[in-house]
Structure 1
Amino acid sequence: MKKILAALALFSSITLPAFASPPATFSEAKVVAKQQVYLDQANSSMGELYCGCKWKWVGKSGGRIDADSCGLQARKQETRAERTEWEHIVPAWTFGHQRQCWQNGGRKHCVDDDPVFRAMEADLFNLYPSVGEVNGDRSNFNYGMASGVAPQYGQCKTKVDFDQRAAEPRDEVKGLVARTTFYMFDRYRLNMSRQQQQLLMAWNKQFPVTPWESERNKRIAAIMGHANPFVTGQRSWTPGYKPSGDGIVSPIPQRAAKLPPVSQITSTASAGVIIGNSDSLVYHLPSGCPSYDKVSAKNRVTFRSESEAEVAGFRKAGNCK
């Protein structure tokens, strides 16, 4: 009986993530991240993201940096250097600019109207407490090598190359930021430059998963309902890798339904239904778009209007007249 109970307990612990409830907004994500992911990390040897500083929690999700714990010196903004901020490892600007909502009205418009953007903004895998000034200096720069840049923040090893618009994090987190970036670009089907891919693939190989990164992955998976497959080894980013778009597909059924068989496409067109391709994220109008009836059944989704398609992350086909 004891063996059976132990087996049931183990099974329960494994299946728990299926009942997880991911945060719905960035504000909520910061609180959840503090309470369930990083609560015991403020005084850990790992420290915050960029400088390895310890900190003291303040309020619901904020913190005050212990500069002496990491030899931190402010570059210019002393007040901002004294506090923690929640860094998006892949900046909101980066993933936002690949959404139609950003083109229509910037970040606020995305928060208001795009459920996929809200999911990206609140994705716990992409959040990490960091020194506020370094977070601000990093801005929306890609990760890169800043070998020619002298130390900027005292003993902090992260460097920001403002001329080349690149940020090089300390070695201790290069693997983590690489695998987090792979996750975000894979899950939300983002486009990454070849140069960025090559650099991050090198970091991923050079700096393997640490015990803390593995533990962090488990904690976040219990909340999000899925792990980062680039941490667990289920997926590997290679040259020519094609992102899955797992995080884009899930919200679409709320706004789109499968079309009837191709044999019934005439009646669908007459009803004014817009056809989207869930693989290419391109939509076609019933008139003026020659590929309207050529989308394969397995990738076919429908929308009632162009705005609805664009909110879901689709763009109009380039061959539409």
Structure 2
Amino acid sequence: MKNTFLAPLLSLLVAFPAFADPPATFAEAKVIAKQKVYFDQANSDLGELYCGCHWAWTGKSGGRIDAQSCGLQTRAQETRAKRTEWEHIVPAWTFGQQRQCWQDGGREHCVKDDPVFRAMEADLFNLYPSVGEVNGDRSNFNYGMAPGVAPQYGQCKTRVDFDHRTAEPRDEVKGLVARTTFYMFDRYNLSMSRQQQQLLMAWDKQFPVTTWERERNTRIAAIMGHDNPFVTRQRAWSLGYKPVGDGVVSPVPMRPTTQPKQDSSASKAAPGSIIGNRGSHVYHLPEGCPGYTQVGEKNRINFASEAEAVKAGYRKAGNCR
């Protein structure tokens, strides 16, 4: 079996710093995922998530599926079957509906007003290229077993049980999706049913971490600032596991309306309210900087003012408004 992802690794390390800021939005995450995580995976042995298809990159983050590479046949949506889409392994609906913002106004409201939701939506560990039609059919269904469902996409082994709202991925990725799900529920303090826990624990045991999954973890950790501890085995999910919630952050603090207007060149903040990333030497302000809530704990350093951050060799994040 070819290790197609190892050859370009040295050039990747030269091209990108050891650490970079995590993506602040889903749109940004897709571009970064292409450039820094899956850049050499379009013709890999594993292929995309659900069918193992190869693809050709198009545009900033898109792709065109090579159906012959995996024996893919269209079920109903020809246009989506021809393209790659970025699948949230844990669907946005699953993590969104456990946030108050979703109850108040759905996904659009969460994107606008909830920094935790934005972090979840842009979390690179939860993204994977997939056949668009299968991604669409999977919808927000939980992963599960679909033994009574006949093949739906030619030789593609993933099956979607529309009646029971369940999707069973192919064996090659069952371990990966289990450990990704554990990560998301643990990091963002989500609630998982007993039945779902039992199934994913079985997949985790039956389908151990692969060489590519470890490499994927390394690449993403270099951007996010932390590992998936269920891949590195720093943590293990057991029935009734209590999520740590280390990705849950407080809302971005608002500046008091009575505060006098200041010149932007000398902007200050309360002590410790400016966050720097030790890996990238970029700092974020509590207002106007989407990455403020997304710096990993081990890379985080606080500054009392922008002047202090600059003096320490840090620069303001490029996506600050």
TM-score, with normalisation over the residues of structure 1? 0.73
Equivalence for 1:126: 126
1:57-96 paired onto structure 2 within 5 Å? 57-96=57-96
Answer yes or no: is the 8 Å Cα contact 2:65–2:131 preserved in 1: yes
Q: Distance in 2 between matches of 1:196 and 1:29?
A: 27
Cα shift at 1:240: 1.2
Alignment match, 1:196:
196
Specify the code of the residue in structure 1 equivalent to 2:91. P
CA deviations over 1:159-208 (Å, ceiling 9, x no partner): 00000100000000000000000000000000000000000000000000
Residue 161 of structure 1 corresponds to 161
**Superposed counterparts of 1:301-312, under 5 Å:** none
Question: Which residue of the partner structure matches residue 107 of structure 2?
Answer: 107
Q: How does 1:1-321 map to 2 (within 5 A)?
A: 19-248=19-248, 251-252=249-250, 254-255=252-253
Q: Give CA deviations for 1:209-242 in whole Å, capped at 9, x if unaligned.
A: 0000000000000000000000000000001100
Q: Percent identity?
A: 82
SS at match of 1:246: coil
Between the aligned partners of 1:139 and 1:252, the Cα distance in structure 2 is: 29
CA RMSD after TM alignment: 1.5
Cα 1:253/1:102, change in 2 over 3 Å:
closer
List, as ranges, runs of 4+ consecutive aligned residues in structure 1 with deviation greater than 3 Å: 253-256
The CA distance in 2 between the partners of 1:200 and 1:234, in whole Å, is 17
Deviations 1:76-121 (A, max 9, x none): 0111100000000000000000000000000000000000000000
CA positional deviation for 1:20: 2.9
TM-score by length of 2: 0.73
1:254, CA displacement in angstroms? 4.4
Q: Distance in 2 between matches of 1:247 and 1:43?
A: 33
Give the letter aligned to residue 155 of structure 1. Q
CA contact (8 A) 2:115 2:252 kept: no
Task: Output the amino acid matched with 1:99.
Answer: R
Letter in 2 for 1:124: L
Tell me how many residue pairs correspond in the alignment.
Answer: 240
Measure how far apart 1:255 and its partner are: 3.4
> How far, CA to CA, are the matches of 1:128 and 1:113 in structure 2?
25
Structure 2 counterpart of 1:46, one-letter code: L
Q: Determine helix, strand or coil for the equivalent of 1:252.
A: coil
Deviation at 1:144, TM superposition (A): 0.4
Alpha-carbon distance between aligned partners in 2 of 1:75 and 1:44, rounded to the nearest angstrom:
24
Residues 115, 251 of structure 2: 8 Å contact kept = no
Distance 1:239 1:87 in 2: 26
CA distance in 1, matches of 2:184, 2:250: 18
Greater share of helix: 1
Write the letter of the residue equivalent to 2:130: S
Contact 2:83/2:131, CA 8 A, preserved across alignment: yes
CA-CA distance at 1:253 after TM superposition: 7.5
Distance in 2 between residues matched to 1:255 and 1:236, nearest whole Å = 34
Structure 2 SS opposite 1:129: strand
**Residues 114 and 251 in structure 2, CA contact (< 8 A), matched pair in contact too:** no
Matched AA of 2:37: V
Looking at structure 1, the residues matched to 54 and 251 of structure 2 have their Cα atoms a distance apart, in angstroms, of 43
- Structure 1 CA distance for aligned equivalents of residues 20 and 95 of structure 2: 24
